[in-house]
Amino acid sequence: MTSDSRTGGLPASVGQPRKLVDQVAASFRAAVLAAEVAAGAISMDRLVEVDPGQLAARALTGRQGGLRNSTGPYAYAAIDGRPVPPSLVVVHPVPGDVDELVIASDGYPVIGETLAESESTLALLLEKDPWCVAELAGTKGVLPGQVSFDDRAYLRVRGLGGR
């Protein structure tokens, strides 16, 4: 979530939080890819049809759904029809002078003031890090024929003033 920094609103630190389980899987995937490069099995100069790091990380990513809306250090909240444990609920009060709010999915690593700005920033990051092991460190990279590493959703709500 973000708001227009010129008019106040939510702090930039709210940003796009990452699940601990995703951070662990992303680090493991990056380490596997680094080992593959060191062994000469792949080159980071070109994308491949099969991402060996993603395949190795599937032992975790394929089971992480069991952590959704649960409790514990790797638990995470999701809107999926099941109750969300109160310990996973984070509430950010929206100041009364904020007239619009942007909410975006994790497919946007940086939420811009506009959809175009968010897409432009994503395109620049993908150009620099198509394997998604540096600035875009994640559980999967961009495979040939794909335009990004994840699906994306961007919602702008206007007219919040005068609540």
Is the whole model's pTM more than 0.75, yes or no?
Answer: yes
Two tokens, residue 46: 């070109």
Query: Containing H/E element for 102?
Result: strand 100-104
Residue of higher predicted confidence among 46 and 72: 72
Please state, in angstroms and rounded to a whole number, the distance separating the CA atoms of residues 25 and 8.
Answer: 35
**Residue 154: pLDDT band by 50, 70, 90 thresholds?**
very high
Mean residue pLDDT across the chain: 87
Q: How far is CA 2 from CA 13, 95, 137, 152, in A?
A: 9, 12, 21, 16
50-60 mean pLDDT:
94
Q: What is the pLDDT of residues 12-46, one digit of tens each?
A: 656 667 899 999 999 999 999 999 999 999 988 87
